[in-house]
Structure formats: C-alpha cells, structure tokens
Structure 1
Amino acid sequence: MDALKLLLTRQSMHALQEPGPDAEQLDVILRAALRVPDFLNLKPFAFLIAEGEGRERLGALMRQAAQASGRPQEDIERAPKMPLRAPLVIVVAARARESKLAPLFDQQLAAGCAVMAMQMAAFAQGFAGVWRSGWPMHDDNLPGLLGLGPRDRIVGFLYVGTAAKPYPPLPNPDPAEFVRRL
C-alpha cells in the first residue's frame, strides 16, 4: 500500500473477527513499532501479546484488577470478555528507563507512537484494529498483575483482526480548523 494512502485512509474498526495476523504478519507489526522516534534509542516499551487462550488470561487479570480497584460490578463482569473482542490484543506499556536526557514523558510518547505504528502496519497488511484505553489503561493494579514495573505505564491496548463490517465513510476535516500560524 502506498504510504500516503495508508496515512490518509487509516481508520479504527471496533467490529473485529478472525483471522488475526499470523506469526510473520505479527513480526512485521512488531518491527514497525521498533522504528518509532525514540530519543537516545532507549526502546522504552514492552509489548504483551494476547492471542488464543492468552486473551482469556488477559481477561482474568483485568477482572482481578477491577476487583482489587473496587470497580463497579458491571466492570468486573465485563472485564474477562473485553480481550475476546479481537483475535489479537497487544498491550503496550511505556517502560521507564533511567535517563538524564530523555524525560519520562518523552519515553511515554515513544510508546504511544509504537501503538500507532503497529496499527498502521496491521492496516497496511489488510487487517483492522482499534487502539483502546478505558479504565484498564489507567488502573493502578493491572500493570503489576501483568508483570510490569512500578514506574511502567500502560499506554494502550491494540485490538487487531479482520473487519467484521464495512468501514464507515471517512470524515474529511479541513486541516485549517486545527492550525494557527505563529
């Protein structure tokens, strides 16, 4: 796919189904993440892959986090089903690296760029996906349950699969509405 067409036609898809990426396609997705801007080449991210039964394990950890955090019963019951909405879920975390020159925020931005790069790589290979956040991303208990460190932060959940319905028409906002010249 042409790079500009990819950038101008990418959109999120919440309705996902099998098939998801195979091992080779997932490797391309992960390699794209490793090409994002990354000051000092710290690689301040981690990718936790949940596919197959791994999605059920992720859901169980989400449920455990919801319970530990005192989330409403509706969230606790819904948590185990959340990762089942796609064949592949990639939990992306910003892994805090010690650096006197690269602030933590810069490292978190690099991890966020990795999510976008992975979604673009999936889209370029014919897959659909959506970058989800919600309460699990901001939960204080889930990172530890996932084996992340105390300074690490989840920056998103990338759900990837095949579009289960047609994409809606692309909006065409005018860039001028978002620009102010200095």
Structure 2
Amino acid sequence: MTTITSTKKKKNNTRSRLLWKFSLLAALIFTSTSCFSQSEKSTVKIEENKSEAKVTGLKYICIHVLELEKTLKLYREILGFKMTKAEVLHGPGLEGMLVMKLKTNDLTIGLSLTAPEFIDTIGPIGNTNHNHFMLKVNDISTIGDKLKEEGYELENEHYARDKYTFFVGPNGEIIGLSAWD
C-alpha cells in the first residue's frame, strides 16, 4: 500500500509540474503577445507625432555681455567653448553690436556686445532680444499661429517666410523660434 501511495504522489507531482509549466508558458506567450501589440501601437503613435508642429531642439543661447574679459574667460578657458565667428551687426536696434559665436560639441552660444556709442539705442537689456534662447522647430507657421491665437506678440510678423521670430514668454523670458537647419 505504501508503494501505491508513493506512485500516486509521483503522478500527481508530475501532473502538477506539467500544469504549472503549461500555465507559465501560456502566461509568457500572452505577455509577449500583449507587449508586441503595445509596442506596435507605440510605433504608430510615434509616427503620428512626427507630423505635429513642435520644438525639435535647441539652436543656440544668446547672452548680452556686460563684462567681456570675464565672459570670454568663463566660456573659453573654463567651459571649453571655441570661438567660431565674430561679426558686427547693423540695423535698427542692432547698430554696432558685436556678436561672437562660441561652440562646443552641438551647442552654440552667441555673446552680444553693444558698441559703447550705441548703448542708448538698445533700451534696457530686459527689453531687447539680446538675452534669449533659440529653439529649432519643424513647422514655424503652425506654432507661430498658435502663439498668436494665445495672445503672444511675435516680433517678426513674417515668421513663415523668414523662418524665425521672437516672443516674450510668461515669465519674461525671450524665446526665439527658428525653422532654419
């Protein structure tokens, strides 16, 4: 009788193990199928987002320079930026402004310095586009239209044609948008 009970227990254990393995296999198959269908949905969602008007990256940051020597020491000697370009701009509100482009890897910083004889033409620093960051966008027309609908004033009304504009954010930050590559 002991032998029969022992054999019966072995059969039950074998059946239990097989049932457990089958259940585990079924759960794995169900989970992988579920994950596959979710990732397929995610792929579709990502492709849909590609057509939306949105920011695609940071183009550059522009800083109005108050102390040239200290600024160049910080960005070039300490932070490792390299000067790639320097030019004097001309035009309303920009007359005599020196703009220096500094670059490291894929980040560009523009340093702007107004010529002393024109310092009174630019107005207070907070009211100019000297201190700003420029965002890359994939569809400036749509984004510009949305900003105008929300009551933001765009500095360049021809933003669709010119592929850039500036506006003041809700915290006083000056934000530039550029569709240039």
TM-score (norm 2): 0.22
TM-score (norm 1): 0.22
Higher Cα Rg: structure 1 or 2?
2
Relative contact order higher in (CA < 8 Å, ≥ 6 apart):
1
More strand by share: 2
